[in-house]
Structure 1
Amino acid sequence: MATTDPYPRSSWAVLAAFAVVGAVTQLLWLTYAPVTTAAAEHYGVSEAAIGWLANVFPLWYVVLAIPTGLALDRWLRPTLAVGAVLTALGACVRLAGDDFGTALAGQTLIAVAQPLVVTATSAVPARYLRAADRPRGIAAASASTFAGMILAFLLGTVVSLHTTLVVGAVVAVAAAGVLLVVLREAPGFVPELPAAGVVDFLAAWRNPVVRRMCLLVPIPFGTFTALTTWGQPLLEPAGVSSDQAGLLLLLNVAAGVVGCAVVPVWAAERGRQHQAVLAGVLAAVAGCLVLAALPGAGSGLVVFVMVGVLLLPALPIVLELSERASGPSAGAAAGLVWMAGQLGALVVTGLAGLLVDAPAAAFVFLAAVTLLALPALPLASRSSTSRPASSATSSR
């Protein structure tokens, strides 16, 4: 990346506004998760139907991830603006009626918008931050998404469903407005070569680092999503109540926020990305085996916090390595990585769900799946030492 300014500065205001919108997408995504039973009763539908208010998100992400990545490479600011506006619109649609159809319509709009925002987790730092600041920016943007999850869990437990919907709409509109204002600032760091659409996608896919990251990222996505989705029923036979399981999940995500804010920056500054991801993978494997052998509230607390701190930072590390290796096609690379992650989440969570009545087998399965990440790790240490060079600039 280069800039017309010989002494470029990072634009943290744009990064901060983007991070808030990213957090809002997660808040809206998980609105109904903490109150599934109450929402089912309120709308007069089954709990499975309420589950689709969240399940539409990964499905739309798989469909839109690659087109979104290409759009971000070519039209970063318009794509982000559309994503922010659609997010706010979907949040407002949920208030237009008090029935399941209206809720699903609003969630679908937000689900379509989410890839337009979250896929830019590496693209925004790449365009608005100096190279030395990008690992910190990617880490902050990633941590903000988990912070949005925490807010969703907290709101669901302390206020009514209607109040949660109102808060979501107000926050989404405000966040979108702020982002639209700061996006008036043109990116200071852009590649010399203009984005080339499908050519960028092919270039990203041919990049060995990006392909290896696409093999790696489904594991943290899949293991984390499976643990958060099935943690409560898997631990219930060991005497862990739903309230205790909810607390474990909240602590898991909170630990992930801390881990994503600290570990990737530390790893990038010391060239330890490979070791950081390896530590997360091994921690998840060990944790799942502990829960298989000694399930309970105490072991769950240790494992969920450990997984949050060590495994979740693998996401921003993978995104940073992909951005570093892909250069002008960073958006396409991010789309590929996010799509791989969402596919991993769908597959691993679905398979783990088949073992929900056999908790020990489910945890052993998750441990075995997590081990599949090990063959993808060696390239990370090699890729962390290089960044594509570029020269002149343009604004978009």
Structure 2
Amino acid sequence: MARWSVVVGYALLGAVTQVLWITYAPVTDAAASYYGVSDAAIGWLANVFPLLYVLLAVPAGMVLDRWFRGGLALGAVLAAAGARVRLAPGYGWALAGQLLVGVAQPLVLNAITGVASRNLPPEHRATGIAIGSAGTFAGLIVGFGLGAVFASPSGIRPLLAVQAGIAVAVGLAVLVVLRRPAPFAAERAAATGFGALRLALRDPGIRRLCALVFVPFGVFVSLSTFLQPLLEPAGVPEATAGLLLVANVVAGVVGCAVVPVFASRRRLEVTVMGLALAVTALACVALATVPGLAVGFVAVIALGLALLPALPIVLELTERRAGAAEGTATGLIWLSGNLGGLVLAAVVGVLVEAPPVAFLLLAALSVLTMPLLRSLRPAIQR
């Protein structure tokens, strides 16, 4: 029997991790004034997340392969605890809280395939992964929305209180739905320790999927980070750039709810990912050659529809192949994606004064990634 309550609880928890991650991004100046620190210091409250993910992705996957329910429950508890710690006065407590949530995030996000495989029959697992992914990305929209509501130094404390309340409520709900053993957990005998890592790395399909996500994930992170300064020379103001980013994520959430399920049911995963890379390249070329508000809206919506659904497609393929090393394999996928985000964002940051060059570079990298799909097709057929 399918247990959709676990899938829904997981989707809410994934959303919470993203809300807590971007807490300070839309209120950077207000937070800097509230804590009496620089904007750069506030930036580190978000930057610790990808850094911790790179360090903890594989260990978190190993934990989930050995103690799945315990590992996911620990992620829920750490996220709620981190949100509560941030309520203490002072920047140091804010950083400590973010570090706790940063440790929780890989335990939560790496669990997405395990939640689907342990609680849903095979025919519904792609839908479960799509729901989990859409919920996670929806957290970005909620985070930006809350930032807009509490966008003043006096609003920081209420903002943290609201987010702490949400995190605690969702964490408790997840602990409740995890009390019962998963109905399909016995299908897979979990690998443990470095055996799970060796098992995942020996699989050519997993290795190719890791290589595939590096560029698309990196393009999304780069544009999310630097879209405003890249479009500023074309006359797009900061507030409008924020709306563009929200439109990008909204389009991605809609795409995550529809595209991965369609691709899985018709076994069109490789074709859909090829189209996603093509759309990404064309959108980046458009932003490089005819930047502006109208082109920006069309391009970022296309990018959201193309890039974000590619992740649940890759995760569903990972679930299908990984078997006993499911958590570790998912961790490798997220690790590769986060590395792509760190590397490409660093490169785009250097090129931020030359927007056409930055956009064309992202387009070229998307095109150069396409040959990986040819080698991926036989690797995922099993």
> Which interval holds the TM-score relative to the shorter structure?
over 0.9
TM-score (norm 1): 0.93
| Larger helix fraction of residues | 2
1:292–1:361 CA contact under 8 A, matched in 2 = yes
Runs ≥4 residues deviating over 4 A: none
Aligned to 1:43: 35
Q: What per-residue deviation string (whole Å, max 9, x for no partner) do you get for residues 187-245 of structure 1?
A: 11134434232111101101010000010111121000001100000001110011110
Matched, 1:59 2:51: yes
User: Would the aligned equivalents of 2:188 and 2:323 in 1 still touch at CA under 8 Å?
Assistant: no
Q: Which amino acid aligns with 1:243?
A: A
CA separation of 1:380/1:164 partners in 2, compared to 1, >3 Å: closer, same or farther? farther
Deviation of 1:385 after TM superposition, in Å, equals 4.0
Please state if 1:116 is matched with 2:107: yes
In the alignment, what sits opposite 1:294? 290
- Give the share of equivalent positions with the same residue, in percent: 51
Once residues 124 and 380 of structure 1 are traced to their aligned partners in structure 2, the CA distance between those partners, rounded to angstroms, is 25
Q: Gapped runs of 5+ residues in structure 2?
A: none
Q: Distance in 1 between matches of 2:349 and 2:293?
A: 21
> What does residue 20 of structure 2 align with?
28
Distance 1:202 1:175 in 2: 34
Task: Tell me the CA shift for residue 383 of structure 1.
Answer: 4.6
Partner of residue 147 from structure 1, selected from 127, 138, 149: 138
- The residue type equivalent to 1:181 in the other structure is V
d(CA) in 2 for partners of 1:27, 1:380: 34
Does structure 1 conserve the Cα–Cα contact (< 8 Å) formed by 2:111 and 2:327?
Answer: yes
Given residue 164 of structure 2, which amino acid in structure 1 is its aligned partner?
A: A
1:249 to 236, 245, 248: 245
The residue that corresponds to 1:94 in the other structure is: 86
Cα distance per residue 1:5-27 (max 9 Å; x no partner)? xxxx1110011111101100000
186-195 vs 216-225, greater mean Cα deviation: 186-195
Structure 2 partner of 1:105: 96
Deviations 1:345-374 (A, max 9, x none): 000001110001111111111112222321
Query: Aligned pairs, how many?
Result: 377
Residue by residue, what CA displacement relative to the aligned partner does 1:38-80 show, whole Å, maximum 9, x if unpaired? Answer: 2122222221111110000000001110011111111000001
Q: Structure 2 CA distance, aligned partners of 1:192 and 1:149?
A: 33
Matches within 5 A, 1:271-290: 271-290=267-286
Q: Deviations over 1:237-262 (max 9, x none)?
A: 11001111000000000001001111
Name the structure 2 match of 1:228.
224
Match of 2:358 in 1: 362
8 Å CA contact 1:221–1:345 kept in 2: the answer is yes
Give the C-alpha shift of residue 126 in structure 1: 1.1
Residue 172 (structure 1) aligned to one of 167, 172, 191: 167
Tell me which amino acid in the other structure corresponds to 2:172. Answer: G
**Matching of residue 260 in structure 1 with residue 260 in structure 2:** no
> Given residue 163 of structure 1, which amino acid in structure 2 is its aligned partner?
P
For residues 217 and 180 of structure 2, what CA distance do their matches in structure 1 show?
A: 33
**RMSD of Structure 2 on Structure 1 (CA):** 1.1
C-alpha contact (below 8 Å) 1:321/1:380 kept by paired residues: no
Deviation readout 1:85-127 (Å, 9 max, x if unpaired):
0000000000011x21111111111001111101111111011
Query: Hey, what's the Cα distance between the residues in 2 that align with 1:175 and 1:42?
Result: 27
TM-score under structure 2 normalisation?
0.97
